Chain A
């Protein structure tokens, strides 16, 4: 059986160009992989028929770019035309959009092949993907453990080598945290870098789509085609098209790197901290200048996040009312019952809790006490981050406080889901880019990740450091076998 999808992007591209393989070979292999990894529950919806149809059509087209004919999986909160988009919710169980998200249009314009929609936390609310209406995806490194969330399905399908590429979304760590738990590279770009049009909104001022890949270079290549100003998204930013791979494998000597003291306190497990310290040692040896710094309000980021994300979510999810689309409670007695029963039955517990808290936060005088104040402190925190970047090229820390935990653990604690993301949330609050890169394994062979934070719109420098670490560690990140087994 063929194993083309295990090759590097450049190698696959060459084979396609030389007509040694066809896109359909890659699609076949992807679906074989899906079949073999069914127990991971990475996918909610597969698009087999269209994927094959498209692969066939591509046989007559010139291989004109690096991503041509490559299979990709899309998180199920990103709208795909004529392909069911559920947000892992009963509410949208049968929802078929009539439009593509801007990122999906971009993938299609490069002739990438969408093979399916990945599992996630319901409406991206969670850090474990366990709130999915379709059951939790599993961690390829240990199927009894969580894949993380909310982009758990995207992380698990890339980690298990089902497909080389997936799209995730990140509101408070939802790309970087599952990437860390599953041992892959996940980037949350600068807010505004990628159009949010067609991404089902959770926290509008925080949400950002990003690439999830096996390695750093391929991550940068995918970001290259995703970014850009979109007239349909006023928060997308007009920046000169730059090549995100341009600093990859350049010398890191003399880089100024900051470590927020808060990131290395006892909130982080010893095993994770030790691994992180090893990296710090390597960087020092390579001539990086490393300093421990304070960033204002960073320890309050979770509180700010809860207020802003839940406040915005309560409004964003108001549109699911059983009237124009989606689940609708049958034969309601009256309008009120249509609303309240539709939303009682259509939403899961975590979502309902967050909508209620969000409504509380914005209700009456509370809006001033909580929401307005959070917006002010958020601005202060962002300013403190930007000040740090006047002196430093990058900020680093562990991505998560622990490695992926048991699927059955911490089920009753509504706060735990926020604390899982304590190290990644500050980045969303400030709108900065952040990336997870695997840096090793725990003693029970679960991946540990490094979090690299860049200045606004400076994703290139993140890739520069990440590529160095990837190269110098040379880890085997394939959960199916290798030197970790």
Chain B
């Protein structure tokens, strides 16, 4: 008997990182008091007209480019007509006939290689308003109405929950690194709807839509749940109807929202209030050339500089760290040490005090010095930990902090005296060393470090000890 094959198509809405809305100049803000970020255009008042935010077009173009899309150089908007309280004009301005990008793809890693998930299209549209419901009434907050969105629609190329999650992670990474969107799923700036069907044949099964799933992990859970649910129904000879379901994260299951009407009648037509928008080749090239460095390129550079794969992934997952690290790529410092600091002690400090790195006293020069001192073992990580708070909080150079904290470097004469003393007091170890027991030197080193309270550079000490022992 044939196995069931799962087929998934994903629609992602991502809010664009602009200051103002797409068709009006009210603020694109999150988390403000209800109905304080609107104007008569967002509210669909009589007689008002849309304008088009230049930045929204640029960001959407960036998204289309990083998704390898063919660009619609001459595009217009369309009206999607449907009545709903969250849709102030009762039509949404979107792109139906001329989406900014078509026929793109995203490449994901799968067992035994890469897989291309084809992008059907990416189009620009306005967000709806937010609603809160109680038993009898719904309450509307128009702050979100008109925030610029891109909707990214895949072909039905995804065949498992794992692929779906990989696609979404990859997509999120692309949009994040192209500075298109914050992609904060928990705040709703990235939202995913999945169309899931199962079939034993080439012909696709009945499409079930799952809306607004709150995290990438939950997308995986939802698809697995839905696959099983549908197979079970089919095995019991039940018919599937096209319907829209919602993921319930309390029970990890999907719940019916509504049966789809026979074909939504959105009555699309070209938006007459917005004339054509033409994207010149020069403009497209400029936007392409000015893309921020994407994650893939960053990965390559980090690996080339010896950072291990686990850390590379950790850095990529945190755009702030990656951007910070990138400032030092051409500064000829040890990026392994740099990345360890950023992922380790510095990250812990920032977390502990809930502060951003740019709001600390850690200047680029101080960071370079710290990395170089650790690299040359002028200081060790123990010292670094001790002075970390000073580095982050004081307007002093690393040298000044070291001096102030009593970590004075011992000069060579002093050091030679100390070493001679230690050798004299540990004859047995010296003899062992000369007898060929190289491990004896470790003991000697330990004694010296103890004497110098850790203020000596271990490299220097090692050299001196070897030289003195050979005499």
What is A's interface to B at a CB cutoff of 8 Å? 77-79, 85, 87, 92, 95, 97-99, 101, 196-201, 204-205, 231-235, 311-312, 314-315, 318-321, 323-325, 335, 339, 359, 362-364, 367, 371, 375
Contact = CB atoms under 8 A, between A and B. Distances in A.
Given A97-B45, A234-B50, A324-B43, A315 B273 contact: no
Given A234-B274, A339-B83, A311 B52 contact: no
A453 B45 CA distance: 33
Contacts of A79: 46-47
Given A234-B52, A318-B81, A367 B47 contact: no
22 contacts: A95-B46, A99-B40, A196-B47, A197-B48, A200-B47, A201-B46, A201-B47, A201-B273, A205-B272, A314-B267, A315-B91, A318-B89, A320-B46, A323-B85, A324-B44, A335-B85, A339-B83, A362-B269, A364-B263, A364-B265, A367-B268, A367-B269
Contact of B272 (A312, A314, A320): A312
Contacts of B79: 315
Nearest to B46: A200
Contacts of A95: 46
A371 B43 contact: no
Dominant secondary structure at the B interface: loop
Interface in B258-285: 263, 265, 267-270, 272-275
Nearest to A206: B272
B269 A371 contact: yes
B51 interface: yes
A363 B348 CA distance: 59
Interface of B: 40, 43-52, 79, 81, 83, 85, 88-91, 140, 263, 265, 267-270, 272-275
Contacts of B47: 77-79, 97, 101, 196-201
A230 to B, nearest CB: 9
B409 to A, nearest CB: 65
Nearest to A364: B265
> Lowest 9 A-B CB distances belong to which pairs?
A318-B90, A362-B267, A205-B272, A204-B272, A200-B46, A198-B47, A319-B44, A200-B47, A79-B47
Contact of A231 (B40, B51, B89): B51
Given A234-B52, A324-B43, A319 B272 contact: no
B445 to A, nearest CB: 75
Contacts of A364: 263, 265
Contacts of B48: 99, 197-198
B78 to A, nearest CB: 10
Contact of A92 (B46, B85, B89, B90): B46
Nearest to B263: A364
A215 B127 CA distance: 49
Contacts of A78: 47
B344 to A, nearest CB: 52
B267 A235 contact: no
Nearest to A343: B83
A85 B265 CA distance: 32
Contacts of B91: 315, 318
B211 to A, nearest CB: 19
B23 to A, nearest CB: 10
B267 A363 contact: yes
B267 A325 contact: no
Nearest to B90: A318
Contacts of B140: 323
A200 B40 CA distance: 13
B354 to A, nearest CB: 40
Contacts of A232: 49, 51
A449 B202 CA distance: 69
A341 B83 CA distance: 14
A321 B273 CA distance: 21
A235 B91 CA distance: 19
Contacts of A319: 44-46, 88-90
B139 to A, nearest CB: 11
A362 B140 CA distance: 29
A205 B40 CA distance: 21
A97 B45 CA distance: 9
B46 A234 contact: no
A197 B45 CA distance: 11
A321 to B, nearest CB: 6
Contact of B51 (A196, A234, A371): A234
B274 A315 contact: no
A363 B272 contact: no
Contacts of A235: 49, 272-273, 275
Contacts of A200: 46-47
Contacts of A359: 267
Contacts of A311: 269
Given A234-B274, A234-B275, A315 B45 contact: no
A462 B342 CA distance: 73
**Counting chain A CB atoms within 10 Å of each CB, which of B45, B51, B85, B265 scores highest?**
B45
**Counting chain A CB atoms within 10 Å of each CB, which of B45, B46, B79, B269 scores highest?**
B46
B40 A375 contact: no
A197 B47 CA distance: 6
Nearest to A326: B46
Nearest to A231: B51
B81 A362 contact: yes
Contacts of B81: 314-315, 318, 362
Contacts of B273: 201, 204, 234-235
